[in-house]
Structure 1
């Protein structure tokens, strides 16, 4: 196999990596925000339940969670994955496997983001709430105009770390037959010198992670102007 066909295949695999990365963020960030408020809820049963779920998810490997999700149709629903795919009008088993991986990734990162959001909200001084109340602001106005920007500034660094970790975690999708960039590289190790496809895949990851690092650095620098 020649060089350019390999690069083309790696680009196709990387497009699936980007798809998994982007969709995970789309689902996990809002879900993490909801989970953070549930974890801080004054209604203790809800708070205990949410904190318990977060503890379990953060304390178990993401790969194990991916595998568990793939067995949900056959265990809880007593339905083969092929029939489950037909029920959801999913055309191929590859698409179903991608869906399983996306669900596991979204739930996993939602729990990590929930802890970050909770920490950011709790670290805002109580005096900021009180100052807003003195000015006659409602709770919603206090959150939008006083709290939110401070929370965003406080969580940017830990969020950036988790998001870059997500980039690398997408390689776990290969274990469930999702043909992302690592799977493509591994399929080609016998057609080239063994390390070549893996080195090229590493370059893709390094380039993407490097771009994200620069973007987050610029965001942090911009938000530093809002220091209270």
Structure 2
């Protein structure tokens, strides 16, 4: 197979990899905030539900979660979800999984803010919402950026797990090409593309971190 054709197939898989990546971030980042706030809630039933959610999603393999979401509707309820369901199942699985990890990162950042800042804001007449948005959140973002960066880079590599659902993302495309050509070259090219993707994310995260340097601890 010509190199150009091989690259075309791999770049086609990369489009699905990038789609999974951004859909996960768009869904998991805000959901993680909700889960973190529920986890810290003084309302015990809500807090226990959030803890259970985090425990299950962090304590079981993402691959298993994807398969459960993919095949669960049929085996549990007899529902035929159709061919398009596999990408939906993939998106739901990744969002739910990463929201649990992001929630714990958010929680650690929020709890690292000294209580005195909340009390000072209250004295100045800030509401709880204003205190969180204007005082707490900017500091939390700065503190959690390194951990978030690590998790986001992990997401890039975890997108390869979508192959278990038959989604032709980049790893699955490389796997098919390697089997067809009896060669390791497709894997090597895919590895290089993953690496460049991670370098790009690292560059962006470093830029964001530098822009937040005016928030000193």
SS, match of residue 148 in structure 2: helix
**CA distance, structure 1, for counterparts of residue 43 and residue 75 of structure 2:** 32
Distance 2:168 2:145 in 1: 31
1:39 and 1:190 mapped to 2: Cα distance? 46
Deviation at 1:212, TM superposition (A): 0.4
Equivalent residue for 2:195?
206
Aligned residue in 2 for 1:171: 160
Query: What residue in structure 1 maps to residue 186 of structure 2?
Result: 197
Aligned ranges for residues 52-131 of structure 1 at < 5 Å?
A: 52-80=52-80, 84-85=81-82, 93=83, 95-131=84-120
Distance in structure 1 (CA, Å) of the matches to 2:12 and 2:151:
25
The CA distance in 2 between the partners of 1:22 and 1:34, in whole Å, is: 19
1:153 and 2:146 aligned: no
| In 2, Cα distance between equivalents of 1:165 and 1:29 | 15
Q: Report the count of equivalent residues.
A: 217
Q: Does 2:208 align with 1:222? A: no
Find the counterpart in structure 1 of residue 126 from structure 2: 137
SS of 1:137 mapped into structure 2: coil
1:187 aligns with 2:176: yes
Q: In structure 1, the residue corresponding to 2:168 is in which secondary structure?
A: coil
Query: Could you say what the CA RMSD is over the residues aligned between the two structures, in angstroms?
Result: 1.1
Tell me which residue corresponds to 2:9.
9
Structure-2-length-normalised TM-score: 0.97
| 1:148-186 CA distance string (max 9 Å, x none) | 100101111111110000000000011110000011111
Distance 2:76 2:182 in 1: 45
2:214 aligns to what SS in structure 1? helix
Distance, in Å, in 1 between the alignment partners of 2:134 and 2:29 is: 21
Is 98-107 or 215-224 further displaced after alignment? 215-224
Shift in Å at residue 220 of structure 1? 1.4
1:37-63 per-residue CA deviation (whole Å, 9 max, x = no partner) reads 111111001101110110111011100
Tell me by how many angstroms 1:191 deviates: 4.2
Could you list the runs of 4 or more consecutive aligned residues of structure 1 that deviate by over 3 angstroms after TM superposition?
190-193
The yes-or-no answer on 1:32 pairing with 2:32 is yes
Superposed CA deviations along residues 190-213 of structure 1, whole A, max 9, x for unmatched, are 444511000010111000000101
Query: Distance between the aligned counterparts of 2:202 and 2:188, measured in 1?
Result: 21
Query: C-alpha separation between the residues in 2 aligned to 1:139 and 1:190?
Result: 58
